[in-house]
């Protein structure tokens, strides 16, 4: 993609960030949050998330500017800082997280259509899976026609999905009641939510899910018209989405009480607006969600293929994932991705895995790539690498990198042991592709340190496999 006509401008990059972050999560936010926390804990959690995620956004901005030679975002940073296997694991984890999220989106999309057509039920009936499969391959062939064309369609759907969100915020601002909002701030009336600390911890995983996509611009850094636009797009996208998320969540808590919100069916934003203006409110949000999900699916199919392609380009993934079609779309990476989505769609028919459990698993898979990106930015500042002439900037970036790193570690803790073990089960088989890539260039598979890391992953995977078999772990 050397000609500038095929390159992505700032607007398209911002739309990729906003488009991949505003998927289905925001439309289910009122219920998802109320199910795990009261008003007070929600406000504390948003405070921590805003600071933590902002530092992560700055990390991606700093790395895009200081290491312009590294293409592919999260994956390239892990590789440059911590070696080939960590780079591979980041790409692999990110890729799995992205297509698992797409499976979740399909379930939510057809569960929303179920509001109008009962045959789709909760999004995992046979009719819903057939519908999702047809849509999946329609998106697949659209992307095969070209990245720039798909990025333009994504720009249009991003604008279309923001309109119902703005309307929701305006209507709820006038209907907001302080007495409902302050009725039971610490959720004393719902002891099953646990302590405030527990509530904050539980809501944190949902907040990470709605922010996944913050790295969208950095993944496409190689296709950006200007490198500096990558960092700008990340921060502009983040601030826009944060504003929407907090408004939707906080305003809902002044319309219905926490226990009422917790009982709603998703997309819960539809029920909140219906509560204020009647039936047309639910229809408006449902239509907005359908457009939003279609756009997000497109963003994420693009991101999935791009991360595998970027990793294959420098021999961290096997050769076959590097092949592009005549339109310069990484076709093999795309086929592999959507085949996995198809398999998991069929699995949701037989497993009771709901939208939320798919989300938690997808979120825990992405925490590792985020952790390595933050650690790499911190290391650069610590070693003064690329900071020879900029000591004041080095101090600032050291603090930002440190906070982002602490936040990423806290997220792993918030996710809990269950999801860490389940993600080990998904990380372990990736080593087959890693070994294949290494053999293709005639290098030994692991260094000594990597052997130890891989052994730990295998042990985690075995524990998880036994846990699923024995029943002390469930999906």
Name the one residue in this structure whose structure tokens are 């921590």: 48
Bond from prior residue into 352 cis (ω within 30 degrees of 0): no
In a domain, 151, yes or no: yes
For 17-35, letters b (16+ CB in 10 Å) and e give bbbbbbbbbbbbbbbbbbb
What pLDDT digit, counting tens, does each position of 72-128 carry? 778 899 999 999 999 999 999 999 998 988 998 898 899 889 888 999 988 889 999
The DSSP line for 172-219 is HHHH--HHHHTTTTT-TT-GGG--HHHHHHHHHHHHHHHHTTTTHHHH
136: enclosing H helix or E strand: helix 126-144
**3-state secondary structure at position 452:** helix
Confidence of residue 3 (pLDDT cuts 50, 70, 90): very low
Confidence of residue 5 (pLDDT cuts 50, 70, 90): low
Q: Are 342 and 102 in contact (CB under 8 A)?
A: no
How many domains does the chain contain in total?
A: 1
Average model confidence (pLDDT) across the chain: 89
What pLDDT digit, counting tens, does each position of 119-128 carry? 998 888 999 9
| Mean pLDDT on 159-178 | 93
Residues 14 and 217: their CA atoms lie apart, in Å, by 7
Helix, strand, coil percent values for the chain (each to nearest 5): 80, 0, 20
pTM greater than 0.85 (yes/no): yes
Query: Residue 283, class by beta-carbon neighbours within 10 Å (0-12 exposed, 13-18 middle, 19+ buried)?
Result: middle
Of residues 383 and 202, which shows the higher confidence score?
383
In a domain, 462, yes or no: no
Residue 195 backbone zone (phi > 0: left; psi -120 to 50: alpha; other: beta): beta
In a domain, 34, yes or no: yes
In a domain, 461, yes or no: no
Residue 49 backbone zone (phi > 0: left; psi -120 to 50: alpha; other: beta): alpha
In a domain, 386, yes or no: yes
Q: What percent of the chain has pLDDT over 70?
A: 98
5 secondary structure, DSSP code: G
Q: What domain range is 127 assigned to?
A: 10-418
**3-state secondary structure at position 93:** helix
Q: Looking at the predicted structure, is the pLDDT value of residue 328 above 50?
A: yes
In a domain, 150, yes or no: yes
Alpha-helix runs per DSSP H in 253-316? 258-262, 268-277, 279-313
Residues 30 and 252: their CA atoms lie apart, in Å, by 6
In a domain, 307, yes or no: yes
Q: Looking at the predicted structure, is the pLDDT value of residue 23 above 60?
A: yes
Please count the other Cβ atoms lying within 10 Å of the Cβ belonging to residue 280. 10
The DSSP line for 352-363 is ---HHHHHHHHH
In a domain, 472, yes or no: no
Of residues 462 and 201, which shows the higher confidence score?
462
Please name the residues in contact with 79: beta carbons below 8 A apart, sequence gap of 6 or more: 86, 87, 88, 90, 314, 316
State the Cα torsion 126-132-134-137 to the nearest 10°.
-140
Assign residue 59 the CATH number of its domain: 1.20.1740.10
Q: Are 457 and 406 in contact (CB under 8 A)?
A: no
| Mean pLDDT on 128-133 | 95
Name the nearest CA neighbour of 85 among 408, 362, 368, 459: 368
Residues 36 and 262: their CA atoms lie apart, in Å, by 8
Q: What pLDDT, on the 0 to 100 scale, is given for residue 352?
A: 64
Please count the other Cβ atoms lying within 10 Å of the Cβ belonging to residue 265. 13
| Mean pLDDT on 300-321 | 90
């Amino acid at each position: 993609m050397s000609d500038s006509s095929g390159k992505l401008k700032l607007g398209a990059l911002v739309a990729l960030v906003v488009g991949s972050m505003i998927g289905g999560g925001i439309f289910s936010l009122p219920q998802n949050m109320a199910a795990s926390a009261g008003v007070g804990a929600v406000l504390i959690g948003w405070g921590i998330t805003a600071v933590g995620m902002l530092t992560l956004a700055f990390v991606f901005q700093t790395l895009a500017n200081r290491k312009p030679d590294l293409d592919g975002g999260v994956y390239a940073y892990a590789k440059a800082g911590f070696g080939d296997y960590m780079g591979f694991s980041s790409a692999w984890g990110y890729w799995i997280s992205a297509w698992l999220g797409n499976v979740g989106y399909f379930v939510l999309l057809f569960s929303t259509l179920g509001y109008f057509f009962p045959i789709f039920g909760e999004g995992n009936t046979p009719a819903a899976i057939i519908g999702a499969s047809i849509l999946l391959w329609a998106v697949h062939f659209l992307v095969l026609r070209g990245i720039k064309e798909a990025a333009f369609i994504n720009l249009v759907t991003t604008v279309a999905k923001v309109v119902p969100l703005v309307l929701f915020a305006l209507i709820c601002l006038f209907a907001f009641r302080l007495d409902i909002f302050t009725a039971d701030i610490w959720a004393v009336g719902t002891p099953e939510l646990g302590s405030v600390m527990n509530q904050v911890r539980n809501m944190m995983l949902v907040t990470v899910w709605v922010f996944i996509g913050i790295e969208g611009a950095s993944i496409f850094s190689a296709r950006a018209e200007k490198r500096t636009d990558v960092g700008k797009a990340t921060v502009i996208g983040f601030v826009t989405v944060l504003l929407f998320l907090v408004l939707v969540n906080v305003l809902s808590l002044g319309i219905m009480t926490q226990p009422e919100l917790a009982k709603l069916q998703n997309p819960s934003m539809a029920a909140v607006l219906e509560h204020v203006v009647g039936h047309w409110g639910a229809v408006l949000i449902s239509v907005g969600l359908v457009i939003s999900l279609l756009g997000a699916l497109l963003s994420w199919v693009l991101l999935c293929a791009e991360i595998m392609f970027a990793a294959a380009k420098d021999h961290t993934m096997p050769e076959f994932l590097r092949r592009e079609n005549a339109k310069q779309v990484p076709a093999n990476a795309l086929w592999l991705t959507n085949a996995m989505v198809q398999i998991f769609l069929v699995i949701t028919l037989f497993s009771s895995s709901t939208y939320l459990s798919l989300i938690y698993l997808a979120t825990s898979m992405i925490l590792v790539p985020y952790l390595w990106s933050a650690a790499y930015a911190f290391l650069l500042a610590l070693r003064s690498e690329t900071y020879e002439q900029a000591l004041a900037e080095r101090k600032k970036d050291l603090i930002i990198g440190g906070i982002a790193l602490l936040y990423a570690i806290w997220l792993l803790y918030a996710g809990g042991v269950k999801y860490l073990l389940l993600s080990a089960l998904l990380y372990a088989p990736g080593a087959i592709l890693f070994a294949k890539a290494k053999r293709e260039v005639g290098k030994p598979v692991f260094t000594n340190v990597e052997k130890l890391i891989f052994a730990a992953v295998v042990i985690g995977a075995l524990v998880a496999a036994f846990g699923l078999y024995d029943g002390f772990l469930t999906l």
